[in-house]
Amino acid sequence: MSQQSQTVSKMPKVGTKLNIPKIDLLLPVLWHPDNDVTEKQINTIDRPYMVAYFGSEDAASAYIAQRIPAYGGLCYPHAKKDRLFSMLRMMNATTLMDEEFGNPEVQSSDVKCLELRRHYLAVLDGVPPPPGFPLVRLLFETLQPIMAHIQPRVGARLVKIIREQVEVLAARLRRQIDTLTFESYLELRRIDVFGEWATILTEYAIDIDMTDELEADSALKKMRNTVIDSVTLVNDLFSFRKEVQVQDPVNSLWVLMRQNKLDLQGAINRLAQIINENARQIVVARDRVLAGKLGGRTDVRDYMVELGHLASGNAEFHTFSARYHGLEFTGGRFTSGEVVIEALPSLHEIAAAKPTSSQG
């Protein structure tokens, strides 16, 4: 039995009951006031790209029901009005890039994976993709207005981190999961789960440049990195149920189970403890920055506020998105309690079951 199959074999069966502990949200949640209008605009504009890729209206509808653009409305509530559309659209472009690399056909084919990698990397050099790659086209079109207005050094860092994301996705992290420690897992996920990308977009959202400050001030860098880890860990706590369906082992829960010899409920409890400690460390790191030599600067204080909203907004998004709770879960919030492992179909499975005939 291969190492990966050992990890998959530990995944719970459909019908298994588990308990999700309550996690601490120590920072306030705030919506951007223009989120709802902008989210609807993006859903209309981006839907054709989704239909073209999935070949299914049903898969496009299922994706839209996840409310991915709303992630930006929660995580960047003070984004400048003229940047909000691009910010929220970027949520779609990067999430759908992750979906495309996660397609079982890509995961199982070196040729398809390398071709996809080549086209996404070309976009970062300003080269539009050829026909037949609608999601790559979506990233290309989304990046153009961002790169036209972002501060130069922030833009260079954004392109660099997306390039690293593409490389990590193309390397197919799931093949390495059984050899990773918890710390090495976090290091890779800081790129793969879009955490650093999300913090760079924080700078774009409020039009600041923290390049020098992040290099020079260890407290500021600690604040940023702790928020990135919060994004990763909260995602792991809420996303493992949907990952069971497609046997995707890239989750810290499986690492904690293996490394600490825990059952799944024990790993869930341990992960919740780590998330709560991380939440406390975010506040400690923030207060250290504000009390330090940079604390009197308006741009740094604004950055601290918005990084806090990235952490709290990420956590809030996971309480209501159908991406983590299934298509039937609409209009509510789940924060803790009993869950049952269900057969939650992936977007690719929905597309295969209900293709749109006009897509061939």
**What is the percent of the chain with per-residue pLDDT over 70, rounded to a whole number?**
95
3-state secondary structure 29-92: CCCCCCHHHHHHHHHHHHHHHHHHHHCCHHHHHHHHCCCCCHHHHHHCCCCCHHHHHHHHHHHH
For 106-140, what is each residue's pLDDT tens digit? 988 999 999 999 999 999 999 999 999 999 999 99
Q: Does domain 3-350 have CATH number 1.10.600.10?
A: yes
Choice between 45 and 191, residue whose per-residue pLDDT is larger: 45
Tell me what the mean pLDDT of segment 148-156 comes to: 97
Task: Domain ranges for the chain, please list them.
Answer: 3-350
- For residue range 154-187, list pLDDT tens digits in order: 999 999 999 999 998 898 766 677 888 999 888 8
pTM of the model: 0.93
> If DSSP codes are grouped into helix, strand and coil, which group holds residue 67?
coil
Radius of gyration of the chain (CA): 20
Which residues lie closer than 8 Å to 49 by C-beta, 6 or more apart?
A: 96, 134, 135, 137, 138
- Cα angle for residues 43, 49, 50 (degrees, 5° grid): 75
